[in-house]
Chains A and B, each alone.
Chain A
Amino acid sequence: MTCHPEAPALDPEAPIVLVGNPNVGKSALFGALTGRYVEVSNFPGTTVEVSAGRAGDIPILDTPGVNSLYPRSDDERVTRNILLARPPRAVVQVADARNLRRSLLLTLQLAEFDLPFILDLNMADEARAQGITVDTARLAQVLGASIVETVATRKQGVDALRARLEVAQPIGYRIHYDGAIEAALARLAVLLPSEPAGARAVALMILAGDADMLARYGGKHTPALQQIVAETAAGYSQPLNYVIAQQRSRCVDCLLGQVAHTSRRGGAAWAEQFGRLAVHPLWGWPILAAVLFGMYMFVGRLGAGVMVNWMEGVLFKQWLLPVATRLAGYIPVPLVVEALVGPYGVISMALSYGIAIVMPIVLTFFFAFSILEDSGYLPRLAVMLDRPFKAMGLNGKAVLPMVLGLGCDTMATLTTRILETRKERVMVTLLLALGVPCSAQLGVLLGMVALLPPSAIAVWGAVVVVTMFVVGWLAARLLPGQRADFILELPPIRMPQLGNIVIKTVARLEWYLKEVLPLFVLGTFILLALDKTGALNLLEQWAAPLVVNGLGLPPQTTGAFIIGFLRRDYGAAGLFTLARSGALDAGQLVVSLVVITLFVPCIANVMVIAKEHGWKTTAWVVAFIFPFAFGVGVVLNLALHALGITFA
């Protein structure tokens, strides 16, 4: 069986191993090669254990789909161990031709195992149908590997694959990691057993923190190996496995850049032109301004204006509430009636704020946002916004994705784990809680501010922008070496598809309502309880020096601030309702919205901070944020009065 003269005596039982991302057709190919049926289904993760078969007299293994050979799951561990256990005759990577990037991420990991290799671009039929073409000759050349195209389900290309198996060679392409990592690999190599294959992969896994590998290959050198890993890790602000993955991902981009592959059907000329102008140092700005103005009109005027007027003024006030009130009249317990339709009732307050005020605003906001995403403009917007950050030496990467995305602080708090010292972690957590609003909440606040005169919008906008810059500034000091561009590739501009937009919007709206409505109901009960026990009155009196004298607001706003502790957008809805009823003028609305904007985003965030940093730290964070928020409000109120600005 040795067609390979220089190869050492080949183990006749050395198998051919099929490896690949989930749901790419490994099992279908296995069936085509062996004639044996294994379960094939269009559901990632169908193959959970290895199945063995034979093509002629060569053993073949089908493995579970993996996205990485640096195992995070048992499936990935199983597949990785097969590659290391008994050197296979050859590895066939089954790849989805429609998704070259994801496939190549795995290919470059496989290259480090240094095993005879063939890349099989499967699903060639679907790729063709979608207008995706890959220059395979060029890819084979830059990758230094043998490539075939197949349609496993119809056995197309399978013979060609079989023929190539005999002469498979290890991948020629090698990733060169940065100096520190290469140096560490060299030091590790000295201490590790020099396996015929896979030594580099093993060293990289140990560097990435794989305890299994260390236990298996470390032997008596384990402490020395750990020492090298620790020394290397000390040079980076992020964990080594992340650093390695990132550098590998950059290599994939570089490879893709060298291989012509059209991943979407030819874009129109206007789209290409527009895409270029959108990041132009000069023309990019008017385009950005036009997009923001469009969003402002859509969210502010249509959502917060027309739609809220109808939902709240007509649907709730004229139809739903009268009906609910009449129905509730049949309930004999007055407290229950009040809990439903009283001033602090579930229907009259929680639902009417949640459904009639907040929902139209987030609906239009999410819709507008989905258009930005689906059209491919969003990354360009980030590129434009990142420029002033860069110019000022700030860290836009730390702020922009969070403001642009859903920006849920709960999650952002968790990402502070990558920071090294406790001080840094607490600082960033504090800043996130203070400065970067969750964008759904930002949308709600934006929609409410949009009804004010432009000068008032500018005041609120300035507060948001200044906090963002402060976060960016601190992040730049705390997270060195993170200022690299964070946009990996700009997708082509295309006409947004209504179907995609509607689905995205609906998914977000569902998420949002599920998240907020329970808290809205809870907040209403708290207010009702405070009101019934007389505590609300006391609190209003007690807070009067701050709320009435300091902020210049009517005492009823105290209730809005109380529910604002649960969620900022709930508090904002309360303020907005007061303003609509004429209890707050434009200046007072700006002051109160600024205060709410600086609040902790939501109670869930507080709980996560507590879980990550302990209750004592949380108490400090909270004890800082609320006085700070009110302090800024007082200063703003005094300044507006001193300057005689009324926004009238």
Chain B
Amino acid sequence: MICPLCGFEYDETALDCHAACPMAQGCAIVCCPNCGYQSVDESKSALAKLLRRLLKPAPPSASRSKNNEPS
């Protein structure tokens, strides 16, 4: 994601802190490696996902994703 504060682009899935934090299980906070600005990872919020679906109905073409099985 792109840090809303400093504009640095980082991979929020590869944050070191998530490996180090004793409460990392389901930790929804992401922290910019450049400036330290913290925000909430929206993809970890069930409510936000639900709202997103309500606000923006899924695009008509379902053909783009064939298989969503993670690794």
Contact = CB atoms under 8 A, between A and B. Distances in A.
A611 B23 CA distance: 11
The prevalent SS among residues of B at the interface is loop
Interface in B33-71: 33-42, 44-48, 51-52, 55-56, 64-68, 70-71
- Best-surrounded residue of B4, B22, B33, B42 (most CB of chain A within 10 A): B4
Nearest to A417: B20
A415 B17 contact: yes
B5 A378 contact: yes
The prevalent SS among residues of A at the interface is helix
Given A46-B67, A510-B47, A503 B42 contact: yes
Contact of A611 (B8, B11, B22, B55): B22
Given A40-B66, A41-B67, A42-B64, A510 B45 contact: yes
Interface in A26-72: 39-43, 45-46, 48, 67-68, 72
A402 interface: yes
Interface string A490-520: 1100000001001110111111000000000
A397 interface: yes
B8 A488 contact: yes
A178 interface: no
A39 B46 contact: no
Chain B, interface size category, equals: 35 or more
Contacts of B44: 507, 511
Nearest to A502: B51
Contacts of B64: 42
Given A412-B36, A486-B35, A503-B51, A401 B7 contact: no
A165 B36 CA distance: 41
A503 B37 contact: no
Contact of A511 (B7, B11, B45): B45
Given A411-B31, A506-B47, A608 B17 contact: no
B60 to A, nearest CB: 15
A62 to B, nearest CB: 15
Interface of B: 4-9, 11, 14, 16-17, 20-23, 28-29, 31-42, 44-48, 51-52, 55-56, 64-68, 70-71
11 contacts: A40-B66, A43-B67, A43-B70, A67-B11, A397-B35, A397-B36, A405-B32, A411-B21, A509-B47, A511-B44, A608-B23
